[in-house]
Amino acid sequence: MNDFQSGEYTVIVADGTFPQHDIPLGYLRNASRIVCCDGSAQNLVLAGMIPDAIVGDMDSLNDDFLNRFADRIYVDENQETNDLTKAVSWCSDMGYKDIVIIGATGKREDHTLGNISLLADYIKYVNVIMVTDTGIFRPLVTTSVISCFTGQQVSIFSLNPETEITSFGLRYPLNRRRITSWWHATLNEALGDNFSLDFKDGSVIVYLKFS
């Protein structure tokens, strides 16, 4: 599966903890463009980079930034969704379909859980991964082969408890397993340089730990 490292992709910087690990920072440095949720723009500038677009309701952006980046601010005042979803929708509308989300975890656990779960919605209309300081969250909507490395730690989360999942290439195999609780398929391990998950009619999020 394409992780966008060798092609054109857009990085969305959410307003969680700004990344410190080399891998998310590498995605950021090599991005074709950087889109900030409004509150994250200041952290990006402090890191020495400039946003190509800032999307959100602008309730977290001070007047200095509102004036400085007036030519790239896109206001969305819809209160029925969060700024991360606004940024993903804006990218999709602009035709930016390969998206890496960073800065979406940390600070508040409720925001973290909400942002991770939204990957299952985003994958329906964009190609997306979420990169943190410890690993990568990758959403899936159908049977897939996932690249990895031998010994990589893997956790699997199903948003539909009725979905039956079968795995190939994991130390603790799943055989038409229904994941009815978040912890049921965590802390697994890859046996080679890829593994596969066989399922249909569901939304699955895979976490791959860096090392």
Residue from 3, 4, 206, 20 nearest 116 by CA:
206
Asked whether residue 5 is assigned to any structural domain, the reply reads no
Between 192 and 7, the more confident residue is 192
Q: What is the mean pLDDT of residues 112-116?
A: 95
Crossing angle of helices 83-93 and 109-122, in 10° steps, is 20
- The residue whose two tokens read 């699997």 is 156
Q: What is the pLDDT of residue 1?
A: 38
Distance, in Å, from the CA atom of 6 to the CA atom of 141, rounded to the nearest integer, reads 23
**What is the domain extent for residue 183?**
141-209
Same domain, 119 and 198: no
Q: How many domains does the chain have?
A: 2
Within this chain, do residues 67 and 157 fall inside the same structural domain, yes or no? no
Residues 73 and 165 in one domain: no
Summarize pLDDT for 165-210 with one digit per residue, the tens. 999 999 999 999 999 999 999 999 999 999 999 998 889 999 999 9
Read off the CATH number of the domain in which 165 is found: 2.60.120.320
CB 161 within 8 A of CB 15: no
pLDDT at 74 (0 to 100): 93
Is the CB of residue 76 less than 8 Å from the CB of residue 31? no
**Which of 133, 156, 176 is a domain's end point?**
133
Question: What average pLDDT does range 8-29 have in this prediction?
Answer: 96
What is the mean predicted confidence (pLDDT) over 64-88? 89
